[in-house]
């Protein structure tokens, strides 16, 4: 997906480091030119892993994201290391989770529940999830934040930045600092479960009439800044859909791409966490339930106006337009060498292949990750500026979508989907009332956070 890898700075930068680790660990390191230092030494790799293992929220979130990459990006050694990170999210003891619940909801919190399971069903980077049942029989999920995790994020990121600064031979164009700072801001926002509750309600409003996607209802009476209660999501993990019939996998992948395009170009409000565990597929109803709206963000129209034109240029293989729009978006300065500009165009065309290649596009047969990885060393050495801030979260989401479709071996008519969204985006009726297109209704602005805790209907006039 365009723009190219510069927006995927941290993931793709570590992908390049993983390739260096692959050749070094296997004793197959090839010459990289006179005086070129290795991108990552074995000792530095071990220090990096040690730092990630010691950290909590930031490290586990990063490891969770990187663990989704395929074997063309991560070496078997690094995959095993990242698997250890995923398994290291040890749950809180029962007394501690109950202490958080009492501090946040009051001593009578359990009176609202018919059942509460002390053993969590999941333990992630920022908190853990327990299953429960209301007095009326409604099954619910209670997400409880780890004590102190919000305060630890800043120090975790500082540790990673320090470690990277001590790593010899890192390419100057990696720009790990801005990428990690962006991740820090996002994680700190994710720690506010009231904000996540409001984002969940907003997506429930936006997708209320959608035939394929479901968003669980928020239970405000059991929610606070560090506790979030929603209806229990039905379905199985997306990665378990790999053995479904081809037609069903094609439909799932097509719907995921449709949702992503809607989020970016119609709602201009996106859930940017690429974790596949946030999608639960229910085969009986043939629907997907969406979970975890902590990593949501807005996109300004100025950004999306240019971004949609970069994708359009890639779909039409218009190299000059790719360069000009990339400069307007601040991915390029205009002072890059002709060689780097050419690499940039190649990367955009590689990532934009779903929109210009044969249709339906076969994600299972494409070699995009391998092709992009081949361009990375030169791009990271010659890049002059970090990518624009909105692209960090956006490209994590797009990268996760791309990998999910590849994992499911989906075949999608990407060009047709994009063309429909493109025509709708530039239609005069959607340019006259900027706020209405975001909400999918005539309301130009969302209500304040206090509305979430009311028992009145939501802003789309339908009960939440």
d(C-alpha 318, C-alpha 303), whole Å: 20
Helices (H), 70-148: 76-87, 94-105
CA torsion 12→13→16→17, rounded to 10°? -130
SS3 388: coil
Other CB atoms within a 10 A radius of the CB of residue 262 amount to 21
Cβ distance 390 to 338 under 8 Å?
no
Side-chain half-sphere exposure of 396, counting CA atoms within 13 A: 29
d(C-alpha 384, C-alpha 267), whole Å: 32
Query: Which residues does 238 contact at the CB level (< 8 Å), separation at least 6?
Result: 252, 276, 277, 279, 280, 281, 288, 404, 408
Q: How does DSSP classify residue 218?
A: B
- Read off φ and ψ for residue 6, nearest 5 degrees: -50, -35
Cβ distance 175 to 9 under 8 Å?
yes
- Read off φ and ψ for residue 35, nearest 5 degrees: 75, 5
Integer-rounded Cα Rg, in Å, for the chain is: 22
d(C-alpha 32, C-alpha 122), whole Å: 44
Other CB atoms within a 10 A radius of the CB of residue 33 amount to 6
Element (H, E) at 21: helix 9-25
Cβ distance 336 to 382 under 8 Å?
yes
CA torsion 388→390→394→399, rounded to 10°? 30
Query: Which residues does 287 contact at the CB level (< 8 Å), separation at least 6?
Result: 211, 212, 213, 214, 235, 281
CA 250 to chain centre: 21
**Residue in 273, 318, 362, 454 annotated catalytic:** 273
Cβ distance 445 to 202 under 8 Å?
no
Annotated active-site residue 273? The verdict is yes
The pairing of strands 361-362 and 127-134 is unpaired
Report the catalytic residues.
273
């Amino acid at each position: 997906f365009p723009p190219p890898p510069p927006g995927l700075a941290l993931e793709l930068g570590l992908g390049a480091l993983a390739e260096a680790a692959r050749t070094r660990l296997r004793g197959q390191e090839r010459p990289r030119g006179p005086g070129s230092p290795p991108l990552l030494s074995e000792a530095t790799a071990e220090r990096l892993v040690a730092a990630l293992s010691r950290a909590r929220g930031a490290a586990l979130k990063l490891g969770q994201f990187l663990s989704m990459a395929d074997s063309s990006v991560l070496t078997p050694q690094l995959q095993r290391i990242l698997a250890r990170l995923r398994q290291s999210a040890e749950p809180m003891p029962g007394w501690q989770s109950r202490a958080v619940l009492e501090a946040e909801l009051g001593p009578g919190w359990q009176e609202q529940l018919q059942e509460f399971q002390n053993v969590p069903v999941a333990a992630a980077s920022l908190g853990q999830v327990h299953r429960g049942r209301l007095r009326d029989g409604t099954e619910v999920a209670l997400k409880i934040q780890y004590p102190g995790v919000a305060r630890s994020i800043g120090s975790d990121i500082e540790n990673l930045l320090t470690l990277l600064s001590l790593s010899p031979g890192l390419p100057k164009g990696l720009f790990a600092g801005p990428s990690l700072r962006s991740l820090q801001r996002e994680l700190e926002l994710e720690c506010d479960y009231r904000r996540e509750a409001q984002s969940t309600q907003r997506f429930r409003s936006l997708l209320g009439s959608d035939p394929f996607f479901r968003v669980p209802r928020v239970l405000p009476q059991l929610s606070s800044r560090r506790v979030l209660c929603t209806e229990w999501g039905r379905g199985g993990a997306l990665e378990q859909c790999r053995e479904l019939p081809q037609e069903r996998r094609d439909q799932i992948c097509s719907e995921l791409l449709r949702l992503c395009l809607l989020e970016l170009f119609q709602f201009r409000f996106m859930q940017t966490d690429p974790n596949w565990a946030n999608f639960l597929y229910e085969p009986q109803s043939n629907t997907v339930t969406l979970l975890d709206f902590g990593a949501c963000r807005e996109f300004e129209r100025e950004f999306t106006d240019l971004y949609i034109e970069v994708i359009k240029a890639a779909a039409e293989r218009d190299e000059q337009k790719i360069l000009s729009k990339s400069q307007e978006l601040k991915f390029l300065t205009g002072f890059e060498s002709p060689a780097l500009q050419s690499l940039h165009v190649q990367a955009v065309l590689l990532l934009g292949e779903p929109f210009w290649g044969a249709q339906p596009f076969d994600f299972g047969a494409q070699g995009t990750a391998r092709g992009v990885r081949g361009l990375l060393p030169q791009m990271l050495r010659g890049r002059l500026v970090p990518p624009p801030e909105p692209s960090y979260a956006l490209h994590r989401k797009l990268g996760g979508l791309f990998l999910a479709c590849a994992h499911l071996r989906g075949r999608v008519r990407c060009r047709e989907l994009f063309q429909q969204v493109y025509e709708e985006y530039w239609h005069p009726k959607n340019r006259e009332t900027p706020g209405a297109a975001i909400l999918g209704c005539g309301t130009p602005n969302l209500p304040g956070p206090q509305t979430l805790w009311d028992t009145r209907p939501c802003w789309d006039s339908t009960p939440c």
